[in-house]
Amino acid sequence: MVGVKPVGSDPDFQPELSGAGSRLAVVKFTMRGCGPCLRIAPAFSSMSNKYPQAVFLEVDVHQCQGTAATNNISATPTFLFFRNKVRIDQYQGADAVGLEEKIKQHLENDPGSNEDTDIPKGYMDLMPFINKAGCECLNESDEHGFDNCLRKDLTFLESDCDEQLLITVAFNQPVKLYSMKFQGPDNGQGPKYVKIFINLPRSMDFEEAERSEPTQALELTEDDIKEDGIVPLRYVKFQNVNSVTIFVQSNQGEEETTRISYFTFIGTPVQATNMNDFKRFLNEICSACVIHCPVGLFLKSKLIFQCFFCIMLNQQFQCRKIAKKISLCLTAISWFGPCMDRVTG
């Protein structure tokens, strides 16, 4: 899709994200009469034509109040980045250069632009969820470092002193892993015996990796490391993954060094609610009730009920304005117990 598509109402937002699929969706939250929004509008429109592999949407916070509230929009313009309906990043302000850099960053290895037909329906390439700042690689060559294997080009990762590599990959949110792609050369330097560990509390060294029991051990074949190869994982063991440590023990041809051309993970984000954010959200709502609502003042020790009472009594106070957000509390079953403890404590 070329051009910026306005989202006319709250019910239209999720279908637009669904239509984007695994492509990057850049959503501009704007407001009528907002000076910075008007200033960046021509640049945003130009970017939508310059990067046709992404989907560009525009949401007016007054027309789509529910969507703005759900996404915690507190200022305009705010730009949210989605893939497979999952929010992966945001950018705030009217700096067109900074916004374009953010877009290019997410399109650098855009799996949506290549549409791997061998990825099963319902799963996605998780490269956009890798937190590169939290990754490390031990025994990498100075000339051929770890970053090379995160790009689909002619560069590669190569080990330094011997054939072994110890790679830690961090994700920016919990994910479920279904399989991996491990691409290597056909000259014997591709990886063969691999151990995979998840969610380690600290970095391990080579000696520890050798003796430790992995989450899964792999013996890769030459077909596994071809461009179209996919390496299945034991899905039930990879349900809530924050980090993966990959220990490459050896290569296909017992060569002095190991090379990895490209690797990525296939799966889905967990999309679990961040409970710290949720508690902070409840506290903010209830503080608003205490300040603006007589019922809240009377029940100021009640964590949740002050919000619900305000809605039921149809009070036109601050909490009424954010009733759509407060209604999310009704679905947070796992938090009713702790909240009731605070109500009765």
Residue 269 pLDDT? 87
Residue 310: pLDDT band with limits 50, 70, 90: very low
Query: For 40-62, how does the pLDDT look when each residue is reduced to its tens digit (9 = 90+)?
Result: 999 999 999 999 989 999 999 99
Query: For 183-232, how does the pLDDT look when each residue is reduced to its tens digit (9 = 90+)?
Result: 999 999 999 999 999 999 999 999 999 999 999 999 999 999 998 899 99
32 Cβ partners below 8 Å, 6+ apart? 60, 62
Q: Among 169, 185, 300, which Cα is nearest to 247's?
A: 169
> Of the ranges 101-110, 147-156, 250-259, which one carries the lowest mean pLDDT score?
101-110
Answer yes or no: is pLDDT of 237 > 60: yes
Sketch the domain layout of the chain as residue ranges: 4-113, 124-269, 275-344
For 313-317, what is the mean pLDDT? Answer: 39
Pick the CATH number of 4-113 from 3.10.50.40, 2.60.40.290, 3.40.30.10, 1.10.1500.10: 3.40.30.10
**Who has greater pLDDT, 3 or 318?**
3
| Integer CA distances (angstroms), 12 to 5, 131, 167, in order | 11, 31, 42
Q: Of 34, 137, 307, 329, which residue is the catalytic one?
A: 34
Answer yes or no: is pLDDT of 35 > 70: yes
Model pTM?
0.61
- Domain formed by 124-269, architecture: Sandwich (2.60)
Tokens of 267: 């799966």
Q: Among 72, 79, 85, which Cα is nearest to 100's?
A: 79
At 46, is the secondary structure helix, strand, or coil?
helix
Residue 249 pLDDT? 96
Q: Among 325, 317, 337, which Cα is nearest to 281's?
A: 325
155 Cβ partners below 8 Å, 6+ apart? 144, 148, 149
Residue 68 pLDDT? 94
Tokens of 282: 């409840």
54 Cβ partners below 8 Å, 6+ apart? 23, 24, 25, 26, 48, 103, 106, 107, 110
Answer yes or no: is pLDDT of 95 > 80: yes
Tokens of 211: 């003796």
Answer yes or no: is pLDDT of 288 > 60: no
Percent of the chain whose pLDDT exceeds 90:
59
Residue 22: pLDDT band with limits 50, 70, 90: confident
For 170-179, what is the mean pLDDT? Answer: 93
Task: Quote the CA–CA distance of 131 and 142 in Å, as a whole number.
Answer: 21
Is 310 designated active site?
A: no
In sequence order, which ranges of 21-161 are alpha helices (DSSP H)?
A: 35-50, 65-70, 96-107
Query: For 113-170, how does the pLDDT look when each residue is reduced to its tens digit (9 = 90+)?
Result: 445 556 777 788 888 889 988 999 999 999 999 999 988 889 999 999 999 999 999 9
Q: Of 37, 137, 289, 293, which residue is the catalytic one?
A: 37
Residue 305 pLDDT? 43
First-to-last CA distance in the chain? Answer: 54
For 14-37, what is the mean pLDDT? Answer: 92
Answer yes or no: is pLDDT of 302 > 80: no
What's the whole-number average pLDDT of the chain?
81
User: Which residues are bridge partners to 246 per DSSP?
Assistant: 167, 196
**Who has greater pLDDT, 6 or 280?**
6
From the number of C-beta atoms within 10 Å of its C-beta (0-12, 13-18, 19+), residue 116 rates as middle
For 76-102, what is the mean pLDDT? Answer: 92
Task: Quote the CA–CA distance of 214 and 271 in Å, as a whole number.
Answer: 26
Cis peptide before 15 (omega within 30 of 0): no
For 83-105, what is the mean pLDDT? Answer: 91
Residue 276: pLDDT band with limits 50, 70, 90: very low
Residue 314 pLDDT? 40
Is 34 designated active site?
A: yes
